């Protein structure tokens, strides 16, 4: 009996030893990025690019929503909080109380395209129409020049920075109708819209592909030029927040300022966002 226990003990020890050996031997700096799912594609591209140029730095990216990003940096559980909205007063206060001084780095601009199913003949809506659709005053596509179909509104959850921006820029603080569906990520919005002919939703520019159609708003398309000069009405900057301005020359500083370099610019464009500067 004792021998059997010994055997089991040996097996466990061997398993643990194997785990230790199997694990990649590596010791470097770890940077944790947390927050917005909208900034996610960009953060992942930055992380990938930066790790490739600086082997030995491990950058992890979690996509849990802007609100959670803010909470994480206030709790000091991440170094970079990706946010698709600016921090709220309450969050700043909580941060200051916790001894964290959030510094905003604008990494890119993002238009908020209003998405419909590509079979929907509607091409253009005004901001007021979008608002009325989401408050429930307009309930049928017929009312805005489309087919006779009941509108299905798809919105982001309230933890999302994209939701906050939509709420501020389109809804004018009017309440979104109770019939709207709330989903947890940009990708989920796209999936809902691409599978529902009557749906309308909104997502970050990086999430638009040819399975959904982006409407023009007040006759203006969400292109780079229109977002940058402010003529596309539903647009916002994307932020990365750090605790204080990072030490000059540190990995953290170079990561959050990657958007200012030419390579960073290309990364922003290729992921679908709009760079603040134009090379």
Partner 1 sequence: MNLHTRKLLDRSFTAAGFFAIVMMACALILILYPIISRGLGAYIFRATCEHRRVQFEEFQAGSRQEIEREAAEIAAVRQPVFDMIAAHEKDLKAELQEAFDQVRALAAAEGGFLQRSLERRLKRAHADASLEECLAVLSDIRESLKGQYDHERFIGVIGVITERKQRVEQAAGKLSDMKHALRDLLGPLPGDRRPELLRSHYGQTRWDRSLHYLDKFLYRYDWDYTNAENTGVKTRTPRADEFRGTDLEPAFGYVRDNIEAMMQPRLTFYWRFLTTDSRDAHFFGGIWPEVLGTFYLTIGAMLFAIPMGVIAAIYLCEYARPTKTVSLLRSCMSTLAGVPSIVFGLFGLAFFLNTVGVSDSKSVLAGSLTLALMILPTVIRASEEAILAVPFTYKEAALGLGAGRWRTVLTVILPAALPGILTGIVISMGRAAGETAPIIFTAAVSVGLAISPLQALDSPTPALPWNIYNLCTEHEAVDEIRHVQFGMVFTLVALVLALNIIAIALRARISRKLRG
Task: Between 189 and 235, name the residue whose CB sits nearer to partner 1.
Answer: 189
Could you list the residues that contact partner 1 (CB under 8 A)? 1, 4-5, 15-16, 19-20, 22-27, 30, 32, 34, 37, 40-41, 44-45, 47-49, 51, 58-64, 68, 72, 75-79, 117-121, 145, 147-149, 184-188, 191, 197, 206-207, 209-211, 213, 263, 266-267, 270-272
Task: Between 112 and 131, name the residue whose CB sits nearer to partner 1.
Answer: 112
Task: Between 174 and 262, name the residue whose CB sits nearer to partner 1.
Answer: 262
Task: Between 147 and 219, name the residue whose CB sits nearer to partner 1.
Answer: 147
We find the least distance from the C-beta atom of residue 137 to partner 1, in angstroms, to be 22
We find the least distance from the C-beta atom of residue 159 to partner 1, in angstroms, to be 12
**3-class SS string, the chain:** CHHHHHHHHHHHHHHHHHHHHHCCCCCCEEEEEEECCCCHHHHHHHHHHHHHHCCCEEEEEEECCHHHHHHHHHCCCCCEEEECCCCCHHHHHHHHHCCCCEEEEEEEEEECCEEECCCCCCCEECHHHHHHHHHCCCCEHHHHCCCCCECEEEEECCCCHHHHHHHHHCCCCCCCCCCCEEECCHHHHHHHHHHCCCEEEECCHHHCCCCCEECEECCECCCHHHHHCCCCCCEEEEEEEEECCCCCCCHHHHHHCHHHCHHHHHHHHHHCCECCCCC
We find the least distance from the C-beta atom of residue 105 to partner 1, in angstroms, to be 19
Task: Between 30 and 137, name the residue whose CB sits nearer to partner 1.
Answer: 30
């Amino acid at each position: 009996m004792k021998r059997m226990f010994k055997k089991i003990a040996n097996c466990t020890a061997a398993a643990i030893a194997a785990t230790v050996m199997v694990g990649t031997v590596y010791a470097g700096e770890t940077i944790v990025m947390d927050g917005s799912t909208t900034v996610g594609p960009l953060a992942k591209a930055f992380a990938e690019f930066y790790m490739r140029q600086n082997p030995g730095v491990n950058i992890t990216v979690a996509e849990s929503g802007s609100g959670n990003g803010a909470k994480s940096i206030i709790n000091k559980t991440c170094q970079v909080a990706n946010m698709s909205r600016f921090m709220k007063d309450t969050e700043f206060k909580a941060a200051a109380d916790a001894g964290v001084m959030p510094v905003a780095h604008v990494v890119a601009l993002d238009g908020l395209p209003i998405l419909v199913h590509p079979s929907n003949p509607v091409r253009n809506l005004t901001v007021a129409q979008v608002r009325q659709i989401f408050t429930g005053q307009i309930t049928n596509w017929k009312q805005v020049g489309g087919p006779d179909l009941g509108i299905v509104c798809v919105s982001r959850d309230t933890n999302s920075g994209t939701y906050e921006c939509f709420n501020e820029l389109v809804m004018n603080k009017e309440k979104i109708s109770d019939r709207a569906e709330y989903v947890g990520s940009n990708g989920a919005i796209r999936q809902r819209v691409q599978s529902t002919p009557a749906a309308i939703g909104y997502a970050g520019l990086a999430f638009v592909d040819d399975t959904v159609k982006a409407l023009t708003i007040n006759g203006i398309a969400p292109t780079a030029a229109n977002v940058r000069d402010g003529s596309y009405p539903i647009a916002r900057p994307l932020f990365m927040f750090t605790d204080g301005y990072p030490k000059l020359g540190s990995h953290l500083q170079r990561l959050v300022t990657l958007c200012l370099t030419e390579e960073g610019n290309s990364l922003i464009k290729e992921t679908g966002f709009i760079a603040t500067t134009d090379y």
